[in-house]
Amino acid sequence: MRARGAGSGRAGRAEAGRPRGPAGRAGTGRAPRTGPGPGARAPLARRLAGPQNRNLWFWVFVGPFALGLLVFTYVPLGWSVYLSFFDAHNTVSPTEFVGLDNYTAMLKDEAFTDSLWTFAVFTAFIVPTTFALSLSLALMVNRLRRAQAFFRSVFFLPAACSYVVAALIWKMSLFNGVRFGLANTVLGWFGADQTAWLSTTDPPWYWLVIVTVRLWLQAGFYMVLFLAGLQRIPPVLYEAAAVDGARPGWQVLRHITLPQLRATSVAVVLLLVINAFQAFDEFYNLLSDARGYPPYARPPLVYLYYTALGQGQNLGLGSAGAVLLALVIAVVTIGQARWLGLGRADEKGA
């Protein structure tokens, strides 16, 4: 999400100027022709432009972004599919067709299948955890009578922090392995030994670091979404519930708040899953070093990054992995949309 957002932003900016040329030419070039030229071209140009030039304006506004999407998303996507059928070491214009060899190699590669598991476990854990944490933050902030804006901002602020910066702070100062790291200092008060948080695989402490940094960064953002949802619930419902004798607390939450938040919840879950799928930044910045990446907690994007873009430069194999990953994501997303009843929720919520 973050990487792509930045990418399309850049694309948009880079493209913004370009279509002006053709559009402008269409305006200036044709105007003289439509004036004096009585031929059949004038009605055609006018028809093409649509009533009140609507078609023209449609393309002026949509064109740059459609073009950016095409050039920076669909062309690379198609190219990657093409590469995945070739032996493409250190080249993007390969000649040696290998059929499905890259796909079979990737599926037999334990490192890749392990990375898919890593990814599944991570998603299964981080989505419910972030959901619960941000919902409870929202419920708490929503009940505040004073300083609500203050707490809302405080919890939201981490969302403005970059993943890379947060990961480095977590790695260098909070969870470094030496005695003066924050976590180890706290352990030291209780007389415990220092722990190398990111290098210990038994128990897997590195998950603590990865999960906390993501929670810290994300929870505030989803809290704001939940807050907006909570504030849209009509107070009359709570009043009616109170009149009917519903006990405040769990019963009201279970039967009024949560059902009313359904639309928000669906959106939050969807965004969380997409974010988990794109896990790269904090993993890479926490665990990689100059010599590579350890074989644990390696999500598929990190693994493919090393296969295709690292010194390995095996772009064919990397593309095959990317296509497989895209298929997995597509299946999960469609399944999720079906299961959560996307669209249906919108009608109910609105």
Partner 1 sequence: MTISRRTLLGTGAALGLLTACGSNTGRDGGGSGGEGPRLSHWYHQYGEAGTEQAVKRYAAAYDKADVRVQWRPGNYDEQTAAALLTASGPDVFEVNGPTLDQIRGGQVVDLTDLLDGVKDDFNPVVLAPKTHEGRIWAVPQVVDMQVLYYRKSLLADAGLKPPGTLDELVDAAKELTTKKTKGLFLGNDGGAGVLGGTPLYAAGLSLVTDDGEVGFDDPAAARALAKVRELYAAKSLLLGAPSDWSDPSAFVQELTAMQWSGLWALPAVRKAFGDDFGVLPFPADGPDGRPAVPVGAYGAAVSARTKHEQAAKEYVKWLWVDRTDHQRDFALSYGFHIPARRSLAAKADPLTEGPAADAVRYSTEHGYAEPLLWTPASRTAYQDALSRVIKSGANPERELRSVVRKVSAELSRVQKRSS
In the complex, minimum distance from the CB of residue 175 to partner 1, in angstroms, rounded to a whole number: 8
Q: Which two tokens stand for residue 153?
A: 């901002």
Is the Cβ of residue 181 or residue 229 nearer to partner 1 in the bound state? Answer: 181
d(CA 255, CA 154): 30
In the complex, minimum distance from the CB of residue 17 to partner 1, in angstroms, rounded to a whole number: 5
Q: What angle do CA 144, 146, 152 make, to 5 degrees?
A: 65
d(CA 71, CA 11): 9
Residue 254: Cβ within 10 Å count:
11
Is the Cβ of residue 130 or residue 176 nearer to partner 1 in the bound state? Answer: 176
CA 266 centroid distance within chain = 15
Question: Do the beta carbons of residue 143 and residue 204 sit within 8 Å?
Answer: no
Is the Cβ of residue 113 or residue 136 nearer to partner 1 in the bound state? Answer: 113
Is the Cβ of residue 12 or residue 158 nearer to partner 1 in the bound state? Answer: 12
- Bridge partners (DSSP) listed for residue 204: 201
d(CA 32, CA 50): 18
Question: Do the beta carbons of residue 268 and residue 222 sit within 8 Å?
Answer: yes
Which of the 8 DSSP states describes residue 310? Answer: S
In the complex, minimum distance from the CB of residue 302 to partner 1, in angstroms, rounded to a whole number: 12
Is the Cβ of residue 27 or residue 335 nearer to partner 1 in the bound state? Answer: 27
In the complex, minimum distance from the CB of residue 184 to partner 1, in angstroms, rounded to a whole number: 9
CB-count burial class (<10 Å; 0-12, 13-18, 19+) for 167? buried
Is the Cβ of residue 13 or residue 344 nearer to partner 1 in the bound state? Answer: 13
In the complex, minimum distance from the CB of residue 225 to partner 1, in angstroms, rounded to a whole number: 30
- Nearest to 266, CA basis, from 350, 176, 153: 350
- Nearest to 217, CA basis, from 286, 266, 267: 286
Residues that bind partner 1 (CB under 8 A): 13-14, 16-17, 89-92, 111, 172, 175-179, 181, 193, 196-202, 289-292, 294-296, 306, 309-314
- Bridge partners (DSSP) listed for residue 86: 97
- Nearest to 248, CA basis, from 143, 175, 347: 143
CB-count burial class (<10 Å; 0-12, 13-18, 19+) for 277? buried
In the complex, minimum distance from the CB of residue 15 to partner 1, in angstroms, rounded to a whole number: 10
In the complex, minimum distance from the CB of residue 89 to partner 1, in angstroms, rounded to a whole number: 4
In the complex, minimum distance from the CB of residue 295 to partner 1, in angstroms, rounded to a whole number: 4
